[in-house]
Amino acid sequence: MLSSPAPAAKLPIEAPPLGASTNHLPPVFQFTLCADTGKYAAHEMTKTEIKALVACFKKAEKHTWQQIEATAGGKKTGLGYTRLKRGELPGAGRQLSEDVRDSVFELRTSLKGRILCFRDGRICHVLWFDRNHDVKG
């Protein structure tokens, strides 16, 4: 006899009302715009760097956008949110729209590692994996 399927798990992600602030919500990471090739692609990362990256994602998901952005400035510890200037983006950054180029930031994954992203509401679009923190020195 076949058993009935288990009830579908409810995803913990809910879309806020259109135009509402998402600062009180944790980020949701998206990777569709990640670099596939070159120096800043994920396939260049070591096992240790990938472990640190996953730990960064887990840590970020436990915080709201407001808390993440509050890690900016001062001594760089934790997620170390830092906005980047256009001139600091890798060459592929020229392909981004102007509004995206103006909103790229980095999050700290390890002492040297960073991810470069931009935010669209609650979504954190990961663009590059900066293993040696050489995009912004």
- Report whether 31 contacts 126 (CB < 8 A): yes
Above 80 in pLDDT, residue 134? yes
Res. 136 pLDDT band, cuts 50 70 90: low
Full 3-state SS string of 55-78:
HHHHHHHCCCHHHHHCCCCCCCCC
CA torsion, ordered 95, 97, 101, 105, to nearest 10 deg: -100
pLDDT tens-place string over residues 51-99: 999 999 999 999 999 999 998 876 667 899 999 887 888 877 778 888 8
Interacting residues of 89 by C-beta distance below 8 A, sequence separation 6+: 96, 101, 104, 116, 135
Q: Closest Cα to residue 107, out of 24, 29, 5?
A: 29
Flag whether pLDDT at 7 surpasses 50.
yes
Q: Copy the structure tokens of residue 106.
A: 């980095």
Lowest mean pLDDT among 30-39, 103-112, 117-126: 30-39
Q: CATH code for 28-130?
A: 3.30.2310
- The DSSP element (H or E) to which 52 belongs, if any, is helix 47-61
pLDDT in tens, 48-59: 999 999 999 999
3-state class (DSSP) for residue 128:
strand
Whole-prediction pTM value? 0.81
